[in-house]
A and B are shown apart, each in its own frame.
Chain A
């Protein structure tokens, strides 16, 4: 569906993205994850045909996004980050224009507008001027225009940004429902959103891809160590010393109210030994559980690693002989 090869975009001398390469298969839901100014929106704008890359190739359904832009644009629905709409039009007028712009004939137009209005729960505001709509409704109108004509590819740039929690849940549910019939690429810097919605995550930082895998695999890759949470009633210093002496335990951090965070080597099953050590010393073991690494941990880890490498390179530049 999407093939991106060595995509690079410069704004003046600033490289927004550098040699990005990735592919998205038919029917996939891919999350584009990265901090602000990582290059997510730039990549999506290039895919949507809004602007060309400085170098590299991006194709949608085999059509080049630059030289065959019109054909590529026919097969996608795009929701920009700051949902731009015409405030002087009603919802129906706007959707009707968008449908006509997508080349639908009069009958298809009416059918598709009705369907998009129903899918995005816009019935109650369909004859209302866009100027007076709430942020949530505007977002839904933006999404509705992207759905018109059932394009095989949906590009959604920060689809839930600026919405209240209830609206976020609604939009996520809608995207989940769309998953069956569309390939979806969505950008976000909200991690739970991506882990909940996407089959694959591409993490991008400073214009470069730092990881690309399923959310489960990414958390597994980071989970080279087991992370445990314990609550023990006992003298803190002694508990710390005893637990650190258990084979496989690599680090331990005491928290409030007898809680401890512990990291252990995955090669060892440390939980039985920990439980025995605590009970033998006569302390109370109130809680012992394994904590899973979240996508948030992966993200912070990858982004931090990347920045450390860059900072090191800047502070210790290698001299060429």
Chain B
């Protein structure tokens, strides 16, 4: 992990020096705010309508009506935004030739990979943290289930880590940032929707697509339920794509 901190710091400096982070951050927060507000508005209307129905009233909780759809909305937003965060990580280094400099500094491959990954994750976490302010504002008006919200945010953090690892791997494949973003978006979308039709696939493997689907594993988090299988899935996913990135970087050894 030699040099992880140096790369992490450099990446954050570059992120904050370029407009891509501010632009994507601005639109993300704008849309996230819109979704949060519309969920609350919808919840308020339904609450008024369900006033005469005690059974329905019991089912209408902020977690169910506001946070569950909000977490899903954020996940879909990140599906679009993360490729923009990760596209330059290695593609730009390759295009500009700074990769040569990076690999001749006394930095290990894991140091470079983890530094870049953690920098992108820090930005992702920063955006998530800002959306936490919405909850703080809501908590001033009504009672919210903080433990369920924290679990939801943990799920989003793990999901983001998985998105970023896959995005970074895509960036290591090419020196064109647009191609890196397109590959990342295509693969993320595939892993998102692959569980939609779990009955598809060869006999005996019907459940396979559901098991590898990112959306399927996010479901429990959005309900405020912490399932170690889901945590393990995301951690494995992250490690798998970081490992693939390392192998991809190592290919310079034999490609010449």
A: residues with CB less than 8 A from B are 9-12, 45, 48-52, 54, 70-71, 73-74, 76, 78, 80, 82, 84-89, 93, 97-98, 100-103, 145
Contact = CB atoms under 8 A, between A and B. Distances in A.
A46 B48 CA distance: 73
Contacts of A102: 105-106
B17 interface: yes
A86 B98 contact: yes
Interface residues of B, number: 27
Interface stretch (B7-15, B77-85, B136-144, B155-163): B7-15
B2 interface: yes
Contact of B18 (A48, A70, A73, A88): A88
Given A70-B2, A80-B100, A100-B6, A89 B106 contact: no
Contact of A89 (B2, B13, B256): B13
B101 interface: yes
B203 interface: no
B104 A73 contact: yes
10 contacts: A12-B256, A48-B104, A73-B105, A74-B106, A86-B96, A88-B17, A101-B3, A101-B106, A103-B3, A145-B101
Contacts of B17: 88-89
Given A51-B256, A52-B253, A88-B17, A101 B107 contact: yes
A22 to B, nearest CB: 20
What 3 pairs between A and B have smallest CB-CB spacing? A84-B97, A100-B6, A101-B105
A88 B6 CA distance: 16
A97 B10 contact: yes
Interface of B: 2-3, 5-7, 9-10, 13-14, 17-18, 96-108, 252-253, 256
B89 to A, nearest CB: 13
Contacts of B7: 101
Contacts of A50: 100, 103-104, 252
Nearest to A109: B6
Contacts of B99: 84
A88 B100 contact: no
B253 A51 contact: yes
Given A11-B256, A89-B13, A97 B104 contact: no
B6 A89 contact: no
A98 B102 CA distance: 9
A97 B6 contact: yes
A80 B106 contact: no
A45 B2 CA distance: 21
A80 B252 CA distance: 17
A74 B3 CA distance: 12
Contacts of A49: 103-104
Contact of B106 (A45, A51, A103, A145): A103
B5 A86 contact: no
By DSSP majority rule, is chain B's interface helix, strand, loop, or mixed?
Answer: helix
A39 to B, nearest CB: 13
B83 to A, nearest CB: 20
B14 to A, nearest CB: 5
B256 A84 contact: no
A50 B256 CA distance: 10
Contacts of A11: 256
Contact of B252 (A51, A71, A78, A98): A51
Nearest to B3: A101
Nearest to B95: A84
A45 B107 CA distance: 16
A145 B98 CA distance: 13
A119 to B, nearest CB: 19
Given A89-B13, A101-B7, A9 B256 contact: yes
Nearest to B111: A101
A70 B111 CA distance: 12
Nearest to B10: A97
A70 B103 CA distance: 10
A52 B106 CA distance: 15
Contacts of B5: 100
A98 B105 contact: yes
B100 A70 contact: no
Contacts of A82: 97
B102 to A, nearest CB: 8
B21 to A, nearest CB: 11
Nearest to B15: A88
B113 to A, nearest CB: 14
B14 A88 contact: yes
B96 A84 contact: yes
A157 to B, nearest CB: 10
Q: Which of B2, B3, B17 gathers most chain A CB within 10 Å?
A: B17
A65 to B, nearest CB: 10
A102 B5 CA distance: 11
B13 A84 contact: no
Contacts of B253: 51-52
